[in-house]
Amino acid sequence: MVLSGGGLKGLAHIGVFQALTEFGLTPDAVIGTSMGSLVAAAWAAGHDIETMRRRGLAVKRKHVFQVAHSDMAFRRMRAPAIYRPEPLQQLIEDLVGSKTFDDLEHQLIVNTVEINSGMQVLWGQPGLRDVRVADAVFASCALPGLFPPRQLRGRFYCDGAVIRNLPVRAAAGAGHTPVIAVDVGSSSVLRADVENSGFAATYARGLEIVMQTMAEESLRGWEKPALLLVHPRVEHVPMFAFDRTRELIDEGYRATKAVLDEFGGPLPDDARGIYPRRHVRIRVSADRCIGCGACVLRAPHVFALGAGGKAEVLEPDQSWSPLDGDYVRNCPTYAISARVADETSA
């Protein structure tokens, strides 16, 4: 299983584990990024779902974000980060203590990036298991600029989302069994007035766009092992909202349960590609289309420019995975629409 980062939206992963438990599913291993690594570490350390839920609901801003006033005052632009590391470190240690990866009850892999070289390092793999889990998780949560990088084995590591927020390729390399990936960081939702909402909102929106793009690129052309992609509907929740935890956990549970209900359990070992799939019908509004050709560049098998210079749909009926359809949101005039085929034909 792969759990993405996404700020506080990563608390939705608690609900994911709740749904898996109800289905009697135990992952062979969990790969986590940022908040996904923190929730995964709590599970791997042996905490039950009720404890994880209770601890998640108790998290307040002061447990994560405390401004590093001294560093900001004395070191100014050379301060390593805006926030002090101690509160987040304490939160992580309260969950996993001083355990190394060999001390955990379940296999855990933590996604990080070495800040100087740009190298992706997956702690918990063979040869990378003797460090404290708390230090690896802190590094994975250390978004550059917000928290200082964490030193491990003489090098400095930061948030794995910098290079891969949803590290599914690492899961594919670990074996041939189906993978469940839960993405709470990507967001294709149209925002309003971001440019006037302050530094934090602009920064968070930029991160969402980066994570969306990285997820799409890493999954493009995916064939095997079969991947069950879960997208909890948390796009409307700000990345650093501390008053929506119950909603986030419940949505993680709902989204995972809905996908598992659809399949009646995990995917078979011989399945290929990305699931779940939906049959949709594509339409183009001629009144809105300006003939820029963006849709043709992205999906020449679906669109072509007609005699009038506007987009026409070649294959209106499509089978979509959660990854497909990026041409809808990348139309500059919102001329393309997609509807579930059964609803359209009814």
DSSP 207-226: HHHHHHHHHHHHHTT--SS-
CB-based burial label for 24 (10 Å; 0-12, 13-18, 19+): exposed
Q: What is the pTM for the complete model shown?
A: 0.84
Mean pLDDT of the 226-234 span: 90
Q: Residue 54 — very low, low, confident or very high, per pLDDT cuts 50/70/90?
A: very high
pLDDT, average across residues 216-223: 77
Residue 235 is predicted with a pLDDT of: 85
The least confident of 84-88, 173-177, 322-326 is 173-177
Residues 197, 149 contacting (CB under 8 angstroms): no
Average pLDDT of span 181-193: 75
pLDDT at 342: 64
> What would the pLDDT profile of 129-173 be if each residue is shown by its tens digit?
999 999 999 999 999 988 999 999 999 999 999 999 999 888 887
Per-position DSSP letters for 46-109, written without gaps between them: T--HHHHHHHHHH--GGGT--B-HHHHHHTGGG-SBSB-SHHHHHHHHHHHTT-BGGG-SSEEE
Chain mean pLDDT for the chain: 89
Confidence band of 188 (pLDDT split at 50, 70, 90): low
% of residues, the chain, pLDDT over 90:
61
- What is the average pLDDT across 218-241? 85
DSSP alpha helix (H) spans, the chain: 12-22, 35-44, 49-58, 69-74, 86-96, 133-141, 168-174, 199-219, 245-263, 294-298, 326-329, 341-345
d(CA 193, CA 191): 7
Residue 70 scores a pLDDT above 90:
no
241-300 pLDDT per residue, tens: 899 999 999 999 999 999 998 877 666 667 778 888 889 999 999 999 999 999 999 899
Which pLDDT score, from 0 to 100, does residue 191 have?
64
